[in-house]
A and B are shown apart, each in its own frame.
Chain A
């Protein structure tokens, strides 16, 4: 019972923040925090697929970007944002099922999987930057090449395209969506299917010998993470009002991985906290020329991998509980060169 209460603490805090934040914070901060939580939603998707299922998806940003583009195109075509968010969530799922079929049914190893997923997002990046020509358009919306799609309508009341939601309401929706994603993934992780997924992470061979179709579970988990990332991407576009090919580029892909490593692989609270922390940091660094974000992010990834491979949250837990013996985080499995 106590344990369940402890688990409920984080989403309750988010919901409270969603309810009372608009009364305390400035509109500028509200917009920023809405964008941060949209990103954090996407990071949760990676935290699930990598932390629970053990799939090293370095190209998680491809689902985020697909969701972002799908929302931008759909909302401009349809006028209504509710359906557009749904499309932004479902299109990445469709893509993840196709990609996942090739990845999991050929039983690729960790390293191969990471490389292929990263290459997919890089290809999307170069495709999207090459669509500057006006002939690339879907409905009335030009894809816009390097500039991307601008002036994307924000969220509106369901069914009433003219009634745009206020900054405060958008903020609450983003935080509630984050809490919802957290609750959904936590339930999924502690469900029967989630336990099988954890078993697959620990030992693919044993799970398979016990009769579970690991390819199926991996595909389902992959699709769930794609849906979560797509939702994050759709909300992000709705908050920011534009989408550019940068959602597919290398710094974007590395952000998600960095947050999950830093927050601690296998936890959900850690990556969310890390995503807020690092986004605050990079918005502070902003226009600084010498310490650009790539330099800082790169150095941070190296330092985390070398010095705190289990991530910040488990490290803090370990310090407070000295008997925490399990090897966790990215060093969980010790492999030998084949």
Chain B
């Protein structure tokens, strides 16, 4: 029984982790159809912002929930201004540019902070479940992820900005003729996506520690989740996370984490073979 509870927790945790690391990427991909290859590095920068702010004496929660998203959001704004804006309309080229950015950020952080792991200790304690225990912080992580996803869904469907964003996403030419400045919408989207990626990195920092290459540990899974989710902005990647998460969690538990990750990729490739534009093409009609 205890083992079953732990297993269920592992599954939910895996789904939440996938959702957390993919949300920022999914927002940028859903709006601009651009895969931000520097996503992992935005996550990494969020982690560094948290650790450095915390070491400088800022309250841990403040540095996680406020400092990190702000710092990474600002970096995102600079990146948008210098690189992304110049390449609108060139999807593949944007992808290559963000890939260069990803390497550049890894190199820059390595040069400044060195190739070592920094960390903050995980707050909150453990909750005993029979012979096992669950980290209370991980429960909080699941809750925050759920909150983030619900908030983005609500913002997208119930606010004026969400309406404008969906219009720009669905038909940018029509939106432009109606007086919406699509370039500004894209810019805002990129900054928000970057900020959420930074928040994800901040929330992961106490669990994994931060080092210059930490992004690589997450990007493959985040890319696969977003790609196999497809066009629908939130529901797409969420459903992909719900399919892929349990597979990864169970196979990691019964075999090894590497088997779990490999099977996640394999499953995603099979999903793409069946639904070439992602699972969400089932209910968006292949858009």
Q: Which residues of A contact B (CB under 8 A)?
A: 56, 58, 102, 105-108, 110-112, 114-116, 118-120, 122-123, 126-127, 130, 249-251, 254, 257, 261, 289-302, 304-306, 309, 330-331, 333-338
Known contacts A102-B269, A111-B34, A123-B262; 20 additional CB pairs below 8 A are A102-B270, A102-B272, A111-B33, A116-B272, A119-B223, A119-B265, A123-B261, A254-B103, A257-B99, A293-B107, A296-B107, A297-B100, A297-B107, A298-B103, A304-B100, A306-B83, A335-B90, A337-B33, A337-B34, A337-B172
**Complex interface: chain A residues within 8 A of B124 (CB):** none
Closest to B275 in A: A106
Give the distance in Å from the alpha carbon of A126 to the alpha carbon of B111 in the complex: 24
Among A249, A305, A334, A338, point to the contact of B97 (Cβ < 8 A): A305
Give the distance in Å from the alpha carbon of A188 to the alpha carbon of B128 in the complex: 65
CB contacts between A and B, total, < 8 Å: 148
Q: Can you list 28 A-B pairs with a CB-CB distance of less than 8 A?
A: A56-B92, A58-B99, A102-B269, A102-B272, A105-B273, A111-B33, A111-B34, A111-B95, A112-B227, A116-B268, A116-B269, A118-B223, A119-B223, A250-B103, A254-B99, A291-B111, A294-B107, A295-B103, A298-B106, A301-B100, A302-B104, A305-B97, A305-B100, A331-B90, A331-B93, A337-B32, A337-B33, A338-B287
Q: Which 4 A-B pairs have the closest CB atoms?
A: A295-B107, A301-B100, A298-B104, A298-B103
Q: Are B92 and A126 in contact (CB under 8 A)?
A: no
Report the minimal beta-carbon distance from A187 to chain B, rounded to whole angstroms: 28
Q: Are A115 and B227 in contact (CB under 8 A)?
A: yes
Within 8 A of A (CB), among B214-265: 216, 219-220, 223-224, 227, 231, 256, 258, 261-262, 265
Report the minimal beta-carbon distance from A178 to chain B, rounded to whole angstroms: 25
Give the distance in Å from the alpha carbon of A107 to the alpha carbon of B277 in the complex: 9
B86 at the binding interface (Cβ < 8 Å): yes
Give the distance in Å from the alpha carbon of A330 to the alpha carbon of B99 in the complex: 14
In which size bucket is the chain B interface?
A: 35 or more
Q: Are B261 and A299 in contact (CB under 8 A)?
A: no
Interface class of chain A by DSSP:
helix
Report the minimal beta-carbon distance from B274 to chain A, rounded to whole angstroms: 8
**Complex interface: chain B residues within 8 A of A296 (CB):** 107
Give the distance in Å from the alpha carbon of A330 to the alpha carbon of B90 in the complex: 9
**Complex interface: chain A residues within 8 A of B270 (CB):** 102
**Complex interface: chain A residues within 8 A of B111 (CB):** 289-292, 295
Give the distance in Å from the alpha carbon of A324 to the alpha carbon of B224 in the complex: 40
Q: Are B92 and A301 in contact (CB under 8 A)?
A: no
Q: Are B90 and A298 in contact (CB under 8 A)?
A: no
Q: Are B258 and A126 in contact (CB under 8 A)?
A: yes
B150 at the binding interface (Cβ < 8 Å): no
Closest to A291 in B: B111
Q: Are B272 and A126 in contact (CB under 8 A)?
A: no
Q: Are A295 and B92 in contact (CB under 8 A)?
A: no
Give the distance in Å from the alpha carbon of A302 to the alpha carbon of B86 in the complex: 12
Closest to B96 in A: A305
Q: Are A335 and B89 in contact (CB under 8 A)?
A: yes
Within 8 A of A (CB), among B19-35: 32-35
Among A126, A249, A298, point to the contact of B107 (Cβ < 8 A): A298
Give the distance in Å from the alpha carbon of A289 to the alpha carbon of B113 in the complex: 11
B123 at the binding interface (Cβ < 8 Å): no
Q: Are A115 and B96 in contact (CB under 8 A)?
A: no
B174 at the binding interface (Cβ < 8 Å): no
Among B83, B91, B104, point to the contact of A111 (Cβ < 8 A): B91
Give the distance in Å from the alpha carbon of A331 to the alpha carbon of B102 in the complex: 20
Give the distance in Å from the alpha carbon of A247 to the alpha carbon of B261 in the complex: 19
Give the distance in Å from the alpha carbon of A294 to the alpha carbon of B102 in the complex: 9
Report the minimal beta-carbon distance from B61 to chain A, rounded to whole angstroms: 32
Among A123, A305, A333, point to the contact of B265 (Cβ < 8 A): A123
**Complex interface: chain A residues within 8 A of B223 (CB):** 115, 118-119
Closest to B182 in A: A337
B108 at the binding interface (Cβ < 8 Å): yes
Report the minimal beta-carbon distance from B59 to chain A, rounded to whole angstroms: 33
**Complex interface: chain A residues within 8 A of B108 (CB):** 295
**Complex interface: chain B residues within 8 A of A302 (CB):** 83, 97, 100-101, 104
B18 at the binding interface (Cβ < 8 Å): no
Give the distance in Å from the alpha carbon of A108 to the alpha carbon of B34 in the complex: 15
Among B101, B102, B105, B273, point to the contact of A106 (Cβ < 8 A): B273
Among B89, B219, B276, point to the contact of A337 (Cβ < 8 A): B89
**Complex interface: chain B residues within 8 A of A107 (CB):** 276
B143 at the binding interface (Cβ < 8 Å): no
Report the minimal beta-carbon distance from A311 to chain B, rounded to whole angstroms: 12
B87 at the binding interface (Cβ < 8 Å): yes
Among A127, A300, A305, point to the contact of B93 (Cβ < 8 A): A305
Q: Are B104 and A294 in contact (CB under 8 A)?
A: yes
Q: Are A112 and B100 in contact (CB under 8 A)?
A: no
Give the distance in Å from the alpha carbon of A116 to the alpha carbon of B35 in the complex: 12
**Complex interface: chain A residues within 8 A of B95 (CB):** 111, 114
B110 at the binding interface (Cβ < 8 Å): yes
